[in-house]
Structure 1
Amino acid sequence: EKAEVHLFTPWKPELEKSLDARVKFQPTLPLSLPGEKRRNLFRQINPLSHLRNARLIRKAGLDVVHFVTAHPSNSLLIPLLGNRLICFTQHDPSCHLGEGSSLRDYLNRRTARLSHRIVAHGQALKDALSQKLPPERIEVIPHGDYGFFKRFAKGEPSEETILFFGRFIPYKGIDVLCKAERLLRKRLDSYEICIAGEGEVSFDSWIDPESRIRVINRFLPDEEVAQLFQQARMVVLPYLEASQSGVLAIAFAFGKPSIVSEVGGLPEAVDFGKAGLIIPANDPEALADAIERLWRQPELRKRIGEGGRDLVEKTIGWPLIAERHIEMYRQLVAD
């Protein structure tokens, strides 16, 4: 039995070139473009934008429409799609500290209520969503592999840095990592912490002249992301709160051990310790202990790194993720 897939997204020539030939590419009217906040707001509230995109989707004659991101305009588009079955991947049950707003939370909750199936990237996230939605409508499908970054890797991997990668947002616990670094100075002779990503954060109160921290605060192309993960001895996620993490999927692909806070779906994402060390949230001492442990024990790093690769092969590889989605669609249509 075959499934016909249509990808609806704003026109991106480089994306079309990378698609499987069996996927039908459908360029939609963009609702958000980088650096155009005012025009983006107009696009998102302009009914003509939604009518045009809805007409394009209806014309394709689809059984199921799956929204894979939590764009606020989803809840405005869904009522225009007629009797199509709707799926929605809800990456976060609610906005995290330092991001989003009550309006965004409301629109995402409305999208979930309008959907026939909601995909959650872990049992912990399903449990959180089940407080407001019928649990039978929620499917647990893990976050997929981000191994495509390995295409941009060059040279041999090294183990030079302790890497934090991602957006600079308060809930990511960057301040906890900086506090842990002060403890590490007394324990390790040679190390460097690389904090790489993008965000409006001031490091002045967190980093002093003695710090062994390098900050890269800008957008990073895929080639640089691959280089950072190649150079990492470990990847740290000292989050204060979380749902799931694409950063972990990159670490798994590169075989790098990780350290995660015991929040949200992160313990489940590292297979409860097999693919990463788990520490209490907001605990610089525990983070420093875990970093020191991994830094000094190459066999432990190897074992945890292999645990991440096993997850890619047995759980989060895209063929497996695709099968689980197709089964969800099939059951939804049958019901």
Structure 2
Amino acid sequence: MNNKFFDRDDSVLLVLGGLDTSGGMFNYLKAWIHLIQKECQSVAVCATAEVLENLKFSGFTIALPYSSNDNLKDIYKRLQFKKYNKEFYEIRKQIDSFLPSYVHIVDETIFFPQLKSVLSGYEKIITIHDPIYHPGQFRSLMTRILCLYSRLSYFCTKKLKIHLHSKRSIFPSILSLYGKNVIYPHPLPETKFSINHHNTTPVVAFMGRIEKYKGIDLFIQSIQEYEKKYQDAIEILIVGKGEVTGFESLRFDNRLTIVNEFVSDIQFHKYMSEIDILILPYISATQSGVGYLAKAYGRKIVCTDVGNLADLIESESDGYIVEKNPRIIANAIHKIASRL
């Protein structure tokens, strides 16, 4: 590898080992397909049948033996007790027929210790989006233990490099001890709508799955602070599924639109193309796929100085990196909105 992630003559097998059929990792996979199709000789994709169907990818594909609709615990048990050996034998034959220069696993998966056997002998790269675990990642202690077990297995896996988007925010993760790291920025997703849309009244948005760690409360407080301090009109948009106490009673002086439901990929792109400012008021995190989609559409970003979010802001023309403070976020919104 050189200053590009892969060389032009490389053939790359992209693997999404998890079950995401439409969210952040699904879109990250699509971003890599788009990049490799432009820069490399050939690309193939290995994922669940549901992911492959949603991708509508016309190239070489390999279906994993489990389903995105299966229970995570059941899949892990079957993998652990080698219930998919016959299917993995066929998968290996398909991989060998494609003969990739690299196998790029585009997201960490608790299935890696079991999947690595079918990938043995090939140069492998696995992308780590969150070197330091944060509160939004785990639904149970068992999932956290399995994630740690998966990471420990990297240290005894041959021909494996760890891909990180940035050198920031890796210590004290055990991955800071792993010697074979590759630093490369998050590829920008392909856009689906015009990036030249402009609004008469600036649209300020919180977009993505609604979770406490993503700072929805801080977003609301920041808008309230903005309205107290500034008279300039804005429109407020909240797009994403999740539970937030008091949504039904939210009142702002400016127009508010809430889309508190699952939003398809194409709808999400449409909303992104129509906003002016994306707020990422994360309390804890490492990366944000929503942020990179905003960059692809040329939208201004206000993000808290958490994890690697600061990598989104290369200059003041991109937006601002701010403290987790409603007043400071409100000031950043005003600075950007007054220049649009």
TM-score range relative to shorter protein: 0.7 to 0.9
1:121 is matched with 165
Q: For 1:40 and 1:108, locate their aligned partners in 2 and report how far apart those are by CA, in whole Å.
A: 13
Q: For 1:41 and 1:140, locate their aligned partners in 2 and report how far apart those are by CA, in whole Å.
A: 32
Q: 8 Å contact 1:89–1:120 — kept in the other structure?
A: yes
Amino acid at match of 1:291: I
2:65 is matched with 29
2:215 is matched with 173
Q: 8 Å contact 1:153–1:226 — kept in the other structure?
A: no
Q: How far off is 1:181 after superposition?
A: 1.5
1:199 is matched with 242
Q: How far off is 1:270 after superposition?
A: 1.6
Q: How far off is 1:272 after superposition?
A: 5.9
1:296 is matched with 338
2:144 is matched with 105
Q: For 1:153 and 1:52, locate their aligned partners in 2 and report how far apart those are by CA, in whole Å.
A: 47
Q: How far off is 1:76 after superposition?
A: 2.8
Amino acid at match of 2:308: G
Q: How far off is 1:264 after superposition?
A: 0.7
2:185 is matched with 142
Q: For 2:170 and 2:315, locate their aligned partners in 1 and report how far apart those are by CA, in whole Å.
A: 17
Compare 170-179 and 195-204 and name the one that shifted more.
195-204
1:44 is matched with 76
Q: For 1:89 and 1:160, locate their aligned partners in 2 and report how far apart those are by CA, in whole Å.
A: 35
Q: For 1:174 and 1:87, locate their aligned partners in 2 and report how far apart those are by CA, in whole Å.
A: 34
Q: How far off is 1:137 after superposition?
A: 1.6
2:327 is matched with 285
2:293 is matched with 250
Q: For 1:64 and 1:143, locate their aligned partners in 2 and report how far apart those are by CA, in whole Å.
A: 18
Q: For 1:120 and 1:9, locate their aligned partners in 2 and report how far apart those are by CA, in whole Å.
A: 21
1:90 is matched with 128
CA deviations on 1:244-267 (whole Å, 9 max, x unpaired) are 111121111211111010111111
Q: 8 Å contact 1:179–1:206 — kept in the other structure?
A: no
Q: For 1:3 and 1:45, locate their aligned partners in 2 and report how far apart those are by CA, in whole Å.
A: 35
Given the two structures, how large is their TM-score scaled by the length of structure 1?
Answer: 0.75
Q: How far off is 1:297 after superposition?
A: 1.8
Q: For 1:77 and 1:200, locate their aligned partners in 2 and report how far apart those are by CA, in whole Å.
A: 34
1:66 is matched with 104
CA 1:210–1:276 in 2, change beyond 3 Å: closer, same or farther? Answer: closer
Q: For 1:125 and 1:117, locate their aligned partners in 2 and report how far apart those are by CA, in whole Å.
A: 18
Q: For 1:223 and 1:237, locate their aligned partners in 2 and report how far apart those are by CA, in whole Å.
A: 21
CA 1:52–1:291 in 2, change beyond 3 Å: closer, same or farther? Answer: farther
1:18 is matched with 57
1:278 aligned counterpart, secondary structure: strand
Unaligned runs of at least 5 residues, structure 2: 1-7, 13-43, 155-159
Amino acid at match of 2:208: G
Q: For 1:108 and 1:254, locate their aligned partners in 2 and report how far apart those are by CA, in whole Å.
A: 33
Q: 8 Å contact 1:242–1:264 — kept in the other structure?
A: yes
Given the two structures, how large is their TM-score scaled by the length of structure 2?
Answer: 0.74
CA 1:117–1:126 in 2, change beyond 3 Å: closer, same or farther? Answer: farther
Is 1:183 paired with 2:225?
A: yes
Amino acid at match of 1:184: Y
Amino acid at match of 2:48: P
CA 1:124–1:52 in 2, change beyond 3 Å: closer, same or farther? Answer: farther
- Aligned match for 2:274, one of 228, 231, 243: 231
CA 1:167–1:128 in 2, change beyond 3 Å: closer, same or farther? Answer: farther
- Aligned match for 1:151, one of 170, 184, 192: 192
Q: How far off is 1:85 after superposition?
A: 4.1
Q: How far off is 1:151 after superposition?
A: 2.1
2:240 aligned counterpart, secondary structure: strand
Q: For 1:44 and 1:93, locate their aligned partners in 2 and report how far apart those are by CA, in whole Å.
A: 22
Q: Which structure: greater helix fraction?
A: 1
1:258 aligned counterpart, secondary structure: strand
Q: For 1:174 and 1:142, locate their aligned partners in 2 and report how far apart those are by CA, in whole Å.
A: 26
Q: For 2:274 and 2:55, locate their aligned partners in 1 and report how far apart those are by CA, in whole Å.
A: 31
Compare 97-106 and 286-295 and name the one that shifted more.
97-106
Q: For 2:249 and 2:181, locate their aligned partners in 1 and report how far apart those are by CA, in whole Å.
A: 41
Q: 8 Å contact 2:132–2:171 — kept in the other structure?
A: no
CA 1:31–1:75 in 2, change beyond 3 Å: closer, same or farther? Answer: farther
Q: How far off is 1:44 after superposition?
A: 2.8
Q: How far off is 1:139 after superposition?
A: 1.2
Q: For 1:124 and 1:179, locate their aligned partners in 2 and report how far apart those are by CA, in whole Å.
A: 28
Q: How many residue pairs were aligned?
A: 287
Q: For 1:278 and 1:176, locate their aligned partners in 2 and report how far apart those are by CA, in whole Å.
A: 15
Unaligned runs of at least 5 residues, structure 1: 299-335
Is 1:3 paired with 2:3?
A: no
1:167 aligned counterpart, secondary structure: coil
Identity across the alignment (%)? 23
Amino acid at match of 1:185: E
